[in-house]
Amino acid sequence: MSEIKVIMPQMGESIFEGTITKWLKSVGDPVERDEPLFEISTDKIDSEIPSPASGVLKRVLFDVDAVVEINTVVAYIESSDSAESDDSAPVEEHASDPAAAADAPESPPSVGRAGTSTSEIASSPMVRRLAKEHGIDLAALDGKGTGADGRITKRDIMSYIEQQGEEIHPAADSPDDDERIPMTAMRKSIADHMVQSRRTSAHVATVFEVDGSRIMAARDAMKADFERSGAKLTYTPFFVHAVAAALKKFPMLNASVDGDEIVQKGHVNIGVAVALDDGLLVPVIRDADRAGLLDLARSIADLSARARTRTLLPEEVRGGTFTITNPGIFGGLYGIPIINQPQVAILAVGGIEKRPVVIDDAISIRPMAYLALSFDHRIIDGAVADQFMSEVKGRLQGWKS
Amino acid sequence: MGLTTYVEAIREGIREEMSTDERVFVLGEDVAVYGGAFKVTAGMLEEFGENRVIDTPISESGIVATAIGAAMMGMRPVAEMQFADFISCAFDQITNFAAKCRYRWGAGVPIVVRGPSGGGIHGGPFHSQNPEMYFVHTPGLKVVCPATAYDAKGLIKAAIRDPDPVIFFEHKFLYRRVKEELPGADYVVPLGEAEVRRAGSDISVITYGAMVFRALDAAKELEREGIDLEVIDLRSLLPWDRHTVLESVKKTNKVILLHEATRTGGFAGELAAVIAEEAFEHLDGPIRRITAPDTPVPYSPPMEEFFLPQVSDVVRVARELNDY
């Protein structure tokens, strides 16, 4: 008999914490190996987590609604399986689990997070709230507290904020009609992710204009056939198809940066951003370069539908090597997107609109769309990015059905 | 117009309600011929006659039961407990009957049970108690503890007009010690609304009854040291004014809860819990309680002084909290 650790698994790249939404077993309950033990909700998916071993649930370390960092022990199971009596074995096992060993960058932002250092500095709930609201690491005030035993008081942090030149409204003056809405797990993740990306990559953008006549014609010709086989044909599969082929030709855009090395990816996995009411998800089409238009149409329809009902599987939201986002559906001319780390480029597809264009010195009406590419100038030069875009444009304008 | 004392204010309030509403009558031990042990009902027998000002036998249970029956028949009785300490004799009538009629079969019981509570007058263990928490713990009741003459009059009138049972604790230490000029016109003080007695920025003192004045005296003393107390007078304990309390906590970020009743199970506990639940991230120091210790009220004057929270206690705790 031994105690087996139950670990909060990593449910996808760039997910560093999950919320325990339900314990399916109570302390003292027997549990079988692989039997669902608890439910978690991360910013991307909700999932049942199976028990790593057979035995009795002995201790539960986190209550429902607790937000737990990945790879943290959340419970102990008293094992009835002698083969697993080595205490470290199940942990090892979990580490080699594909979920835990996802190809995520090895630098979770939790390391060195302000909270870690502040927990040892005496303050108060109010001081901690103000620090959070103003993005202050309380370590900056360590040793400067004027309260009992050097405690950081309201006055200390308020004067610190004033010194920093930030405008601060004393709590007493905070207007009653302001509403404070706590961020959801997804919102926080998006916020962190976006800022982290801005800090990481050297964002540069290039915008191309594409004549959509051929893909429009192709879509109209194929629409009925596709519908008969159960797939709704939008323009997105065309863009994914063209981008996937162009990425094969320009692998520098299908890459990531690891320290001083450029990692060119062996697969072309294209993420397609899906807007939700309270955020967005990016389901991934694996090996998009090997799929036909019908397959692409089907998987895009399926993944977006399940993104909206939040029933995607963990592996369906990770492992992307390039992202396409579609601001055009709401009428935007073009948008300059932020790169989805650890990728190095992202394409924003504007809406297709009829515009007057000059062709052979004549003005003609054509369905046009702007394509905007954000790329990481650390590894992609402007010439390469433009060649890639030119390839995408050529494939779309010269579409052969 | 001259100054009206707290005891006169209650008398005026009852008289005004009796004059305008013939359903209102008073009953209790020695309330008629003698005019009440503390003279709250003095002159009423002469003014309203023996049908509306009724001397009863010494039976608190019987007084309250009579009042409940009259209320059910459409009257608005105001029952006096000669000392609030003796309300325990009527406990079953109040908590199991009056408090539950509305819940059980929709019957309102518009009674007021009023009486003098509190210490500071060397009354000893049976004439000095603060029994409010027995009733605060009883859903279906309303509990009121006025501190000023204005509130005493406005709240007794609101209590008489209320469609449900109201327990009205008068503080006997204040009967003749606090006085003020009252408006001539009819007014009520709504049940369940607190009052900011003194606005301040550093520490909120949340209190009620006679302790309001201890807090105000402490505030005056601390003002010289640059510590600015805000004093909240709850006035009603059931229902109580969460909004005013929480807004004050959010403003000052430090809290002292002060009451004369004993500590364990006192109203400060409930306040502390709600503040911790709803304003935790606004706290810049521990929630501090200043209360009587968990003993009966002592008879000996120096012992009673030790027992009751003093201005010096408020000053000391406020200094500690200010330095925290």
Q: For residues A345 and A377, what is the distance between their CA atoms, to the nearest angstrom?
A: 9
Domain boundary among A95, A129, A154: A95
Contact B281 A126 (CB under 8 A): yes
Reply yes or no on whether the pLDDT at A83 is more than 60: no
Which element (helix H / strand E) includes B302?
Answer: helix B301-307
A159 & A237 share domain: no
Q: Quickly list H helices, A167-274.
A: 185-200, 213-228, 236-249
Reply yes or no on whether the pLDDT at A50 is more than 50: yes
- Classify residue A376 as left (phi > 0), alpha (psi -120 to 50) or beta: beta
Beta strands in B247-301 (DSSP E): 255-262, 288-292
Beta strands in A214-361 (DSSP E): 255-258, 261-264, 270-272, 274-276, 279-281, 284-285, 322-325, 345-349, 353-359
Q: How far is A26 from chain B (nearest CA, A)?
A: 27
Contact B281 A125 (CB under 8 A): yes
Name the pLDDT band for A163 (thresholds 50, 70, 90).
confident
Domain boundary among A145, A173, A201: A173
Task: Determine contact: B319 vs chain A, CB below 8 A.
Answer: no
Please choose, from the candidates B142, B145, B72, the residue with its C-alpha nearest in 3D space to the C-alpha of residue B112: B142
Q: For residues A345 and B93, what is the distance between their CA atoms, to the nearest angstrom?
A: 78
**Residue B282 pLDDT:** 95
Reply yes or no on whether the pLDDT at A12 is more than 80: no
More confident: B129 or A181: B129
Closest chain B residue to A150, measured at CA: B324
DSSP sequence for B100-167: GHHHHHS-----EEEEEE--SS---TTSS--THHHHHTSTT-EEE---SHHHHHHHHHHHHHSSS-EE
Would you say residue A152 lies in a domain?
yes
Most confident residue range from A152-161, A392-401, B214-223: B214-223
Reply yes or no on whether the pLDDT at A84 is more than 60: no
Contacts of B77 (CB under 8 A, 6+ apart): B24, B25, B26, B27, B66, B67, B70, B71, B111, B112
A195 & A336 share domain: yes
Mutation target to probe the A interface, by most A beta carbons within 10 A, among B203, B204, B251, B253 is: B253
Domain count, chain A: 3
Contact A154 B284 (CB under 8 A): yes
Would you say residue A391 lies in a domain?
yes
Please choose, from the candidates B252, B246, B242, B268, the residue with its C-alpha nearest in 3D space to the C-alpha of residue B318: B252
Give the lowest-confidence range in A311-325, A366-380, B40-54, B136-150. Answer: A311-325
Q: For residues B4 and A7, what is the distance between their CA atoms, to the nearest angstrom?
A: 71
If you average pLDDT over residues A142-165, what whole number do you get?
86
Q: What CATH number is attached to the domain comprising A239?
A: 3.30.559.10
Going across the sheet that includes A36-41, the strands are: A46-50, A36-41, A17-23, A67-69
Reply yes or no on whether the pLDDT at A89 is more than 60: no
A355 & A207 share domain: yes
Q: For residues A82 and A1, what is the distance between their CA atoms, to the nearest angstrom?
A: 6
A141 & A192 share domain: no
B252 to chain A: which residues are within 8 Å by CB? Answer: 172
Going from the C-alpha of A176 to that of each of A125, B253, B279, the distances in angstroms are 21, 17, 15
Would you say residue A179 lies in a domain?
no
Q: Please confirm whether the linkage preceding A342 is cis (ω < 30° from 0).
A: yes
Contact A126 B283 (CB under 8 A): yes
Domain boundary among A65, A95, A125: A95
Task: Determine contact: B201 vs chain A, CB below 8 A.
Answer: yes
Q: How far is B213 from chain A (nearest CA, A)?
A: 25
Write phi, then psi, for B44 (nearest 5 degrees): -75, -35
**Top CATH class, B195-323:** alpha beta
Task: Determine contact: A135 vs chain B, CB below 8 A.
Answer: no
Give the lowest-confidence range in A131-135, A211-215, B127-131. Answer: A131-135
Same fold, B4-180 and B195-323: yes
More confident: A144 or B95: B95
Task: Determine contact: B276 vs chain A, CB below 8 A.
Answer: no
Contact A237, A297 (CB under 8 A): yes
Going from the C-alpha of B229 to that of each of A303, B146, B216, B222, the distances in angstroms are 60, 21, 8, 8
pTM: 0.55
Give the lowest-confidence range in A26-35, A257-266, A370-379. Answer: A26-35
In three-state secondary structure terms, B18 is: helix
- Classify residue A51 as left (phi > 0), alpha (psi -120 to 50) or beta: beta
Closest chain A residue to B286, measured at CA: A124
**Domain limits for position A89:** 2-95
Reply yes or no on whether the pLDDT at A10 is more than 80: no
**Residue B80 pLDDT:** 98
More confident: A11 or B63: B63
Residue for token pair 């709504």: B190
Q: How many CB pairs under 8 A join A and B?
A: 36
Enumerate the β-bridge partners of residue A347. A324, A373
A360 & A215 share domain: yes
Going from the C-alpha of A72 to that of each of A7, A40, A91, A103, A120, the distances in angstroms are 5, 13, 10, 19, 20
Contact A126 B253 (CB under 8 A): yes
Reply yes or no on whether the pLDDT at A5 is more than 90: no
A127 to chain B: which residues are within 8 Å by CB? Answer: 284
Q: Quickly list H helices, A96-184.
A: 114-118, 125-133, 154-163
Contact B136, B163 (CB under 8 A): no
**Residue A81 pLDDT:** 59
Percent of chain B clearing pLDDT 70 (strictly above)? 100
Name the pLDDT band for A207 (thresholds 50, 70, 90).
very high
Output Rg (C-alpha) for chain B, integer angstroms.
19
Contact B189, B154 (CB under 8 A): yes
Q: Chain centroid to CA B96: how far?
A: 21
Would you say residue A107 lies in a domain?
no
Would you say residue A248 lies in a domain?
yes
More confident: A69 or B34: B34
Superfamily of domain B4-180: Thiamin diphosphate (ThDP)-binding fold, Pyr/PP domains (3.40.50.970)
Reply yes or no on whether the pLDDT at A92 is more than 70: no
Most confident residue range from A185-199, A314-328, B120-134: B120-134
Give the lowest-confidence range in A19-23, B147-151, B193-197. Answer: A19-23
Going from the C-alpha of A68 to that of each of A64, B9, B208, the distances in angstroms are 10, 60, 44
A80 & A228 share domain: no
ipTM value for the complex: 0.74
Contact A126 B284 (CB under 8 A): yes
Name the token pair of A355: 């515009």
**Residue A241 pLDDT:** 95
DSSP sequence for B183-246: -SS-----TT--EEEE--SSEEEEE-TTHHHHHHHHHHHHHTTT--EEEEE--EEES--HHHHH
Q: What CATH number is attached to the domain comprising A147?
A: 4.10.320.10
Task: Determine contact: B323 vs chain A, CB below 8 A.
Answer: yes
Q: Can you state the percent helix, strand and coil of chain B, rounding each to 5?
A: 40, 20, 40
Give the lowest-confidence range in A25-39, A258-272, B277-291. Answer: A25-39
Percent of chain A clearing pLDDT 90 (strictly above)? 35
Mean pLDDT of chain B: 97
B283 to chain A: which residues are within 8 Å by CB? Answer: 124-126
Give the lowest-confidence range in A91-105, A131-145, A187-201, A210-224. Answer: A91-105
If you average pLDDT over residues A144-160, what whole number do you get?
89
Contact B176, B130 (CB under 8 A): no
Reply yes or no on whether the pLDDT at B63 is more than 70: yes
Instruction: Kindly compute the dihedral angle of the four CA atoms of residues A107, A310, A47, A67, in this order, to the nearest 10 degrees.
Output: 50
Contact A339, A378 (CB under 8 A): no
Please choose, from the candidates A275, A255, A249, the residue with its C-alpha nearest in 3D space to the C-alpha of residue A387: A249
Mutation target to probe the B interface, by most B beta carbons within 10 A, among A154, A156, A176 is: A154
How does pLDDT run across B179-220, given as a tens digit for each residue?
A: 999 999 999 999 999 999 999 999 999 999 999 999 999 999
Name the pLDDT band for A94 (thresholds 50, 70, 90).
very low
A129 to chain B: which residues are within 8 Å by CB? Answer: 281-282
Q: For residues A370 and A365, what is the distance between their CA atoms, to the nearest angstrom?
A: 15
Task: Determine contact: B285 vs chain A, CB below 8 A.
Answer: yes
Task: Determine contact: A128 vs chain B, CB below 8 A.
Answer: yes
Q: For residues A48 and A34, what is the distance between their CA atoms, to the nearest angstrom?
A: 10
A125 to chain B: which residues are within 8 Å by CB? Answer: 280-284
How does pLDDT run across B123-132, given as a tens digit for each residue?
A: 999 999 999 9
Longest CA span, chain B: 61
Name the pLDDT band for A328 (thresholds 50, 70, 90).
low
Would you say residue A104 lies in a domain?
no
Reply yes or no on whether the pLDDT at A109 is more than 80: no
Q: Please confirm whether the linkage preceding B239 is cis (ω < 30° from 0).
A: yes
Reply yes or no on whether the pLDDT at B32 is more than 50: yes
Mutation target to probe the A interface, by most A beta carbons within 10 A, among B230, B284, B322 is: B284
Contact A171 B324 (CB under 8 A): no
A201 & A273 share domain: yes
Mean pLDDT of chain A: 82
Contact A37, A8 (CB under 8 A): no
Q: How far is A186 from chain B (nearest CA, A)?
A: 23
- The C-alpha angle with vertex A121 and arms to A116 and A124, in degrees rounded to 5, equals 105
Contact B250 A147 (CB under 8 A): no
Contact B282 A153 (CB under 8 A): no
Domain ranges of chain B: 4-180, 195-323
**Residue A313 pLDDT:** 85
A206 & A133 share domain: no
Task: Determine contact: A169 vs chain B, CB below 8 A.
Answer: no
- Residues of B identified as active-site: 127
DSSP tag of A193: H
If you average pLDDT over residues A367-374, what whole number do you get?
94
Which element (helix H / strand E) includes A396?
Answer: helix A382-397
Reply yes or no on whether the pLDDT at A107 is more than 60: no
